[in-house]
Every structure is written in C-alpha cells, then in structure tokens.
A and B are shown apart, each in its own frame.
Chain A
Amino acid sequence: GENVEQHPSTLSVQEGDSAVIKCTYSDSASNYFPWYKQELGKGPQLIIDIRSNVGEKKDQRIAVTLNKTAKHFSLHITETQPEDSAVYFCAARGYGGSQGNLIFGKGTKLSVKP
C-alpha cells in the first residue's frame, strides 16, 4: 500500500524567510496530493492541493510542486508570518482507493519567530 514520508519533523524560521516541507510517496499510481494545516486545538484545514496532471500550483504565499518521476512533492511558504506557525501534514491518495482514503505523513511543526 501507499506510504508517505514527510521531512522535516520540526522547522523553525525567522519571520519573512521561506519554509519548505518535503514529502515522498511510494505508490506511483497516487494522483492527488493535499496539504493540511493544523492549528492548536483545531482540525486539519486544507490549504492547497495538487493533482498528478499538474507540476506546480500557487496560491498567494503558498505553492506546491510535484515531481511524479521522483515521487515527491513539496510545500513552499514564502514571506512567512507568525500566524503560519502550525503543524503541516502532506497526504496522498492512491488510485483505486476510497475517495477519501488519504495516507498522511507524520506532520511538520513549523515555528515562525517574529
């Protein structure tokens, strides 16, 4: 079955710097890759997603890139702000799996220092 590895587990950056979180997946048939942000006491919130027919997607300060050949995808946050501090999860959904049967990485705790 699908396996998702996420790195780093913790990341600390200065306000205004960029942050990059990387994930690799094992099932070459996976076709959907969402990223979730989880703030303390809340559930995961979808912030951006990408499908396998696209190599890059941007939404303001957030971008995701996908390399299908290498089976990895990354989250890029530019001009980080203190409110970006949270735990970020990547996920992958394999072909043939349940519509929502996402396989998650273990999460990255991002701290943005003012």
Chain B
Amino acid sequence: EAGVTQFPSHSVIEKGQTVTLRCDPISGHDNLYWYRRVMGKEIKFLLHFVKESKQDESGMPNNRFLAERTGGTYSTLKVQPAELEDSGVYFCASSAGSILAPLHFGNGTRLTVT
C-alpha cells in the first residue's frame, strides 16, 4: 500500500508570504495528524483530524496556521503570513480507526522562511 505522501518536500519562502502544505494519508485512514519539528527540538503535535472534523487542534501555534481536510481525504496546512520562526519540518501522519493503531508518518515538508 502507498504510504503517507507530502508535498512539497521542500519550500523556501520569504517572510510575509503564504505557503500551503499538502498531505495525502494512507487510503482508508480516518485519523490524520500534523506535527512539526523546529531545528534541534522535539517533534511537536499540531492537530488531529478524524475524517473531516478537527478532533484536537491544541497544538496549533497561532491563527496564522489553518488546516483543512475537506471530504475527509487529503489535508492542507496553510501558513499565512509566514514568519521566520515557522521554519522547520512539517510532518503528516495517519492511522486507522482503532485507538491501538500505530501512526504512519510521511517524509515531511522542510519549510524555510527567509
């Protein structure tokens, strides 16, 4: 089966610009998560979708970040306007419906804000 795919793999933008990251979960996985790793620090939870609904968005840093999952399939994470501190690697993960199911991560999008 195809794994979690993320696009783009890299993005370099200037401060103040907008960037949209995309995640395609494993087919059939209702749970979709966004995480972020800032240079040298831990991987931090951003939010969790169950199908198209936001189950938990407690990790979203501020209102410059907007995540959507229309139709309960792929998800997008938009940063607008981007700030320098938004630089990092953004990971998407998905899991099946069971609470015992493990998370499968994508390869991430490396975002650099200059």
Are B33 and A100 in touch, CB under 8 angstroms?
yes
CA distance A89 to B44 in the complex (A): 12
Are B48 and A43 in touch, CB under 8 angstroms?
no
Q: What are the residues of chain B within 8 A of A107 when measuring CB–CB?
A: 42-43
CA distance A97 to B102 in the complex (A): 15
Please count the residue pairs between chain A and chain B whose beta carbons lie under 8 angstroms apart in the complex.
62
- Residue B2 at the chain A interface, CB threshold 8 Å: no
> Which residue of chain B has its CB nearest to the CB of A39?
B107
Give the interface residue-count category, chain A: 20 to 34
- Residue A13 at the chain B interface, CB threshold 8 Å: no
CA distance A99 to B30 in the complex (A): 12
Are B56 and A101 in touch, CB under 8 angstroms?
yes
Most interface-central of A42, A103, A104 (chain B CB within 10 A): A104
- Residue A106 at the chain B interface, CB threshold 8 Å: yes
CA distance A16 to B105 in the complex (A): 29
Are B56 and A104 in touch, CB under 8 angstroms?
no
How many residues of B are in contact with the other chain, CB < 8 A? 26
CA distance A44 to B105 in the complex (A): 6
Contacting residues of chain A (30-75) with chain B, CB-CB under 8 angstroms: 34, 36, 41-46, 49
Say whether, besides A101-B56, A104-B42, A46 and B48 are in contact (CB < 8 Å).
no
22 intermolecular pairs with C-beta atoms under 8 Å apart = A34-B103, A42-B107, A43-B4, A43-B6, A43-B93, A46-B103, A89-B42, A91-B43, A97-B56, A99-B31, A99-B55, A100-B33, A100-B48, A100-B93, A100-B95, A101-B56, A101-B59, A102-B45, A104-B42, A104-B44, A106-B41, A107-B42
- Residue A4 at the chain B interface, CB threshold 8 Å: yes
Interface residues of B (CB under 8 A from A): 4, 6, 31, 33, 40-45, 48, 55-56, 58-59, 91, 93, 95, 99, 102-108
> Which residue of chain A has its CB nearest to the CB of B32?
A100
Q: What are the residues of chain B within 8 A of A98 when measuring CB–CB?
A: 45, 48, 55-56, 58
Taking A36-B105, A46-B102 as known contacts, 13 extra A-B pairs with beta carbons closer than 8 A to each other, sorted by chain A number, are: A34-B102, A34-B103, A43-B93, A46-B103, A49-B102, A89-B43, A98-B56, A99-B55, A100-B48, A100-B93, A105-B42, A106-B40, A106-B42
